[in-house]
Structure 1
Amino acid sequence: MTSMIAFLGCGEMNEAIMAGLLEAGTAPEDVVATVRRAERVPGLASRYPGVRFISSEEEPEGNRSACEGAAVVVLGVKPGDTVGLARAIGPSLRPDAVVVSVAAALPLAQLEAALPQGQPVIRSMPNTPLKLGRGVVSLSPGSTCSPAQLQQARAVFEGSGTVVEVPEEQIALVSAISGSGPAYAYYLAEAMAAAGEELGLDRELSELLAQETVAGAGLMLGEPGATATALRNAMTGPETITSRAIAVFDGRDVPGIIAEGARATVKRTAEITALLGETALD
């Protein structure tokens, strides 16, 4: 990719996306990123030599200047600040520049309304393993985004993990699985460590066993052709000790509990979306 990419806001998520893009071969000279505090610039510049970093503390119009000439602009600020940022940068955008939002629960309609008419917009839902190049990102194009522009956005994210395309109405469902999903895995590791300690293992040892086991199982799931069902079935034949644990989990309806939790995240996403809509009307 040779077109300029602008990252507005360089928090953990946007930095992870940028790092993956650079790792995939994009020239640092084709990337510009903005931060609020000037004190962050030296550290970022040392980690990503060649990338141009702009501090809005030193350059109040830095976000607008970063967008000038950019083919893709990634908005990486808080959901409540995203619409205001979109309004501010509108005059500086190329008409064909693709604006990508990573803000959770912020609808495409609000972004499109805040930008110049016809501006291509994409809503994304990345997850935290993006930082390790093993993330999942969903992309939902807006009403004026062309297939070629959607492909431009895919190219920005593909260096950080798996990219899927979904209609906007499914974003909350994706978030319930991949967005919140890493926390489910951490919760499982916590529970496993607590169980080991209760059985009599040293706390530090039990935590190590649980963390490395969950991490290792995740790597096995990433192998070509692997499925969770096949890997589990290989360990849970009728005479295995592991099958006894799965029987207990099934008896407590752990799958149903997880599904209930996922539904709760979908409900909360809808609540946040409604709040953001009220804020946009203020």
Structure 2
Amino acid sequence: MSDSKDAPTSDTLPRIAMIGVGSMGGAILAGLRAPEVDIALPIVVTTKSVTSAQAFAGDDDVTALSSEQDADANKTAVRDAELVVLAVKPWMVRDVVREIANDLAPGAVVVSVAAGVPSSAIEDKLPDGVPVVRAMPNTPATIGLGVTGIAAGAAATDAHIELVRRLFATVGEVLVVREDQINDIAAVSGSGPAYLFLYAEEMTQAAERRGFDEDQARVLVQQTIVGAAELWAHSDDTPEELRRKVTSPKGTTEQAVLVLQEANWGELFDRALAANARRSEELERGE
């Protein structure tokens, strides 16, 4: 990729339109609305229902348009936007792109957060040369602790990628990857919170079976996860090294770890991530 002199260079994020503000779109919007973010206002968002749009009534930094009330809401939203974020369900992306294609402002960058929709499928429905960037954020973006993988489409330059990186830096860490890595980003971090919550669910139930009540089990498991994550975040040690520091030879932790390791977690995670990536590939094929 090479820099484009036509791409934005200001430290201020340009005018943004968001098509859809569900769970992920809402998380991104929350990051953009943080007081420390320098951004051209207002941010224009579109929702399906009038009720969802009315939730932004009286907000100076957001203009909300409802497609239920105005069939051209999406078209109107993108006309003055330099960044257009597609935060709708994957099955809706192609229709939305087809709808807004002729109303995009010159030089606008289209950003998709939809799993299983390759940039080529979006580019096919846009005028030639419109830059497309795929992004795969995760739900901790809601509290500014997300991690997002971003990948350039055919027409996206280094400058466009940097602009999109700054967009997602408002909600956490950002990795620039190849598009053929996006499905694996989805498998590791996009779906990753669900894996951790499954662990928390099972661990909580196990604690309850050991005699703790529901509230006690929740506190024990939740604070253990939060504390361990913070310990890792503030340490230069690898997870393996941190685990060893907790695991005394012939001690109680070692006995539990041996039982878990007998289940072959490495092979289990390989299978889980492969299944996740395989489903993304099926979505790309329209299956």
- Would you call these one fold, judging by a TM-score over 0.5? yes
Alignment equivalent of 1:26, drawn from 38, 42, 47? 38
Q: Distance in 2 between matches of 1:208 and 1:115?
A: 50
Correspondences of 1:29-40 after superposition (within 5 Å): 29-40=41-52
Q: 1:44 matched to which residue of 2?
A: 56
Q: Which amino acid is 1:88 matched to?
A: E
Secondary structure in 2 matching 1:265: helix
Correspondences of 1:220-239 after superposition (within 5 Å): 220-223=231-234, 225=236, 227-239=238-250
Q: Which amino acid is 1:136 matched to?
A: V
Q: Distance in 1 between matches of 2:47 and 2:227?
A: 35
Q: After alignment, is 267-276 or 6-15 more displaced?
A: 267-276
User: Could you state the TM-score of these two structures normalised by the residue count of structure 1?
Assistant: 0.92
4+ residue stretches of structure 1 with deviation over 6 A? none
Q: Distance in 2 between matches of 1:65 and 1:26?
A: 23
Q: Distance in 2 between matches of 1:202 and 1:58?
A: 49
Can you list the C-alpha shifts for 1:59-100, whole angstroms capped at 9, x where unaligned?
221111111121110001111110111111111112311100
Secondary structure in 2 matching 1:182: helix
Alignment equivalent of 2:178, drawn from 160, 167, 182? 167
Deviation at 1:45, TM superposition (A): 3.8
Secondary structure in 2 matching 1:171: helix
Identity %: 35
User: Could you state the TM-score of these two structures normalised by the residue count of structure 2?
Assistant: 0.90
Alignment equivalent of 1:73, drawn from 67, 74, 84? 84
CA RMSD between the two structures? 1.7
Does structure 2 retain, via aligned residues, the 8 Å contact 1:68–1:92?
yes
Please say if 1:12 is aligned against 2:23: yes
Q: Which amino acid is 2:53 matched to?
A: V
Q: Which amino acid is 1:38 matched to?
A: V
Secondary structure in 2 matching 1:275: coil
Secondary structure in 1 matching 2:33: helix
Deviation at 1:203, TM superposition (A): 3.0
Please say if 1:206 is aligned against 2:211: no
Please say if 1:186 is aligned against 2:162: no
Deviation at 1:27, TM superposition (A): 4.1
Does structure 2 retain, via aligned residues, the 8 Å contact 1:220–1:226?
no
- Name stretches of at least 5 consecutive residues in structure 1 with no aligned partner: 277-282
Q: 1:123 matched to which residue of 2?
A: 134
Please say if 1:136 is aligned against 2:166: no
Q: After alignment, is 173-182 or 212-221 more displaced?
A: 212-221
Can you list the C-alpha shifts for 1:145-183, whole angstroms capped at 9, x where unaligned?
011111111111101011101111111111111011111
Q: After alignment, is 113-122 or 191-200 more displaced?
A: 191-200
Q: Which amino acid is 2:45 matched to?
A: A
- Name stretches of at least 5 consecutive residues in structure 2 with no aligned partner: 1-11
Q: Distance in 2 between matches of 1:45 and 1:228?
A: 46
Pairs aligned (count): 275
Select the structure that is richer in helix: 1
Q: Distance in 1 between matches of 2:235 and 2:102?
A: 46
Can you list the C-alpha shifts for 1:103-139, whole angstroms capped at 9, x where unaligned?
1110111000011111000011111111011111110
Can you list the C-alpha shifts for 1:173-212, whole angstroms capped at 9, x where unaligned?
1111101111110111111112112222223311331122
Q: Distance in 1 between matches of 2:24 and 2:253?
A: 37
Instruction: Label 1:275 to 1:176 Cα distance change in 2 as closer, same or farther (>3 A).
Output: same
Q: Distance in 2 between matches of 1:132 and 1:141?
A: 26
Instruction: Label 1:214 to 1:2 Cα distance change in 2 as closer, same or farther (>3 A).
Output: closer
Does structure 2 retain, via aligned residues, the 8 Å contact 1:29–1:52?
no
Secondary structure in 2 matching 1:145: coil
Q: Which amino acid is 1:42 matched to?
A: Q
